[in-house]
Copies of this chain bind each other. A is one copy, B any other.
Amino acid sequence: MKGNAVYKRSYNGCLAICGSLPLGAEMPSENELSQSLAVSRTTIRTVMTGLEAAGILRRESGARRLSRRPAPDDAFPDTQTLSTSATVERRFLEWILDGHIGPGHLLTATELARQFGTSTTIIREHLPHFQHFGLIERRPNSAWLFKGVTPAFANEIYEVREMFELRAARSFIDLPDDSGSWRRMRTIEAEHRSLLASIDTDYGLFPDLDERLHRTVHETADNRFIKDFYDIISMLFHYNAQWDAEDEKQRTFTALTEHLAYIEALLRRDLKAIDRACRQHLKTARSNLLRSIELRMKVPSAPDASPA
């Protein structure tokens, strides 16, 4: 009734630790392991038992020692290390953003549960979350209305994003000199320059860097609602990146350049320049998003079919 994804993830984690240990060495204590993997000691114990059964660890007067080197296929496949809930969230968003259904479509919990092979419990847990994202709307005692990934959606998100990011960026200059944010920002700047140098091969690393920059800016606003909102943007970017691979390198180059102007302005505490660079970057980002949404609306990938 409850998956054991936590177990499998922890098992793989311990396996990695084993791999970095010389043969015959003693494993860290249950407490240390549970802390470093951020799970309960109970789970660690179960994992230890599993590793012993697999012949990887051996008990010796209380302590556990590495008795054989773990092979790559001792690990559980990555697909099994995510909870049902996380899997459904991902698959649902992919399905939505892939344009399988159009605006105005009605979603019923039962049907979604069938479609994704889970219980309605999980589905009912996620629907409010997607409502928070502005993707669906509830009809009381009835189905949910899909509002669509439309230009309106993008514009509304960006209207808010601009307000929040500008506000956060402005608060950046008020940070005390000894705030950790300055150091982090300088690191991010260096990473930008290094990525720019190796852009031909490494442009795939950009999304992560992008997120770190914007989160660093948003952090300084010190406002839970502003930080929360960035989760929506982050989600949108993550999935949007998947279906809009066109011109990715060129767009990455532009973004890196704009980011650098933005970062320099932040580091110089130059309010005017911050405003200018921030607006410019968000304008580009918004039109990229709009372009890919409009493109997608013209070429619906599959009008309305189950992904299975």
Contacts and interface: CB of A to CB of B under 8 A. Distances in A.
A272 interface: no
Contacts of A156: 222-225
Contact of A160 (B6, B40, B225): B225
B6 A223 contact: no
B125 A160 contact: no
A5 B39 CA distance: 42
A118 to B, nearest CB: 15
Contacts of A225: 134, 156-157, 159-160, 229
Interface in A199-235: 221-226, 228-229
Interface in A156-212: 156-157, 159-160, 163-164, 167
B124 A160 contact: no
B160 A223 contact: yes
Interface residues of A, number: 27
A222 B134 CA distance: 13
A229 B157 CA distance: 13
Contact of A159 (B121, B129, B160, B223): B223
Contact of A132 (B132, B134, B147, B222): B132
A242 interface: no
- Of A157, A159, A222, A226, most buried by chain B (CB within 10 Å of CB) is A159
B160 A226 contact: yes
A13 interface: no
Contacts of A159: 167, 221, 223, 225
A211 to B, nearest CB: 20
Nearest to A156: B223
Given A159-B223, A223-B156, A134 B228 contact: yes
A167 B147 CA distance: 23
Interface string A251-263: 0000000000000
Contacts of A40: 141
A102 interface: no
5 contacts: A121-B121, A124-B125, A156-B222, A156-B223, A159-B167
Given A125-B128, A156-B222, A160-B225, 15 more contacts: A39-B141, A121-B121, A124-B125, A128-B128, A128-B129, A132-B228, A134-B224, A134-B225, A156-B223, A156-B225, A159-B167, A159-B223, A160-B223, A160-B226, A163-B164
